[in-house]
Amino acid sequence: MEQLESHACFGGTQSVWRHRSTTLDCEMNFAVYTPALAAGERLPVIWWLSGLTCSEQNFITKAGAQRYAAEHRVILVAPDTSPRGAGVADDPAYDLGQGAGFYINATEAPWAAHYRMYDYITEELPALVAAHFPVSDRASIMGHSMGGHGALTIALKNPGRYKAVSAFAPIVAPTQVPWGEKVFSAYLGADRKTWAEWDATALLEQAEERLAILIDQGAADSFLENQLKPEIFAEAAKRLGHPLTLRLQPGHDHSYYFIASFIGDHIAHHATALNA
């Protein structure tokens, strides 16, 4: 690994690293916030997954999460949102290709060669973090928009692995909205039956655990009606008896101003579960 950045922050350290990913076959960046530690101490880890067009930088520079991570004694890990580089397939649109990995494993050319973000987030990067940073075996996961989709699907596909899950303005039913239909057609092909594996609402139908879910959604989000549709997920959770707290926040949009306003609540939600 190569260290790209290191900054003192709320008594701890915000760092950014680069490594060669064998899963994605490219160079990848990821960010880690580590609170001040006693000798030999290990802390729980919260994984943050960012949204479309973002990198690891958006969360660490805009969310204001480090203050709450230091307070609750948790480590934050924020990976990039897709494979990147000159040899990685891309598209001129903002919602396909680099910056739009969607945290799934692509099966269609030319995407399948690099776009295996699910395997990267659930296998390669956790192993790398565990080998080089003072994380314990207790983990949780959260994210925003595309990353909220990633956090929900990853938690639902891996029962017992995460102590908590939460999301800001997540894409909860990608098989039913334009963002998901576009990306899944490209990455997974025309057979819509294969798409359900990556749809949080569909996965909720077969959930093996009742992990409590916290979702915050801005009421003034311009993507709310056509792309996010949290009511689809809420209706499924109610019918299935799955614990869900869905908070519609008046006046808030899709931006990091929204995330910064409620990130403290989310980290507290995770810390409670991680320290239980």
Instruction: Kindly tell me the number of DSSP H helices and DSSP E strands found in the chain.
Output: 9, 9
* Alpha-helix runs per DSSP H in 117-218: 117-119, 125-132, 146-157, 178-188, 200-204
User: What letter would DSSP give residue 228?
Assistant: I
Structural contact between residues 77 and 50, judged by C-beta atoms closer than 8 angstroms: no
The maximal CA–CA distance of the chain, rounded, in angstroms, is 53
| 221 carries an active-site annotation | yes
Q: Please report which helix (H) or strand (E) contains residue 38, including its range.
A: none
Query: Which of 72, 221, 261, 270 is labelled catalytic?
Result: 221
> What would the two tokens of residue 161 be?
């692995």
Q: Which phi and psi (to 5°) does residue 171 adopt?
A: -80, 95
> What is the enclosing helix (H) or strand (E) of 69?
helix 66-72
Alpha carbons 19 and 251: distance in angstroms, whole number: 40
Catalytic position from the list 21, 82, 145, 261: 145
Residue in 144, 149, 254, 266 annotated catalytic: 254
Catalytic residues: 145, 221, 254
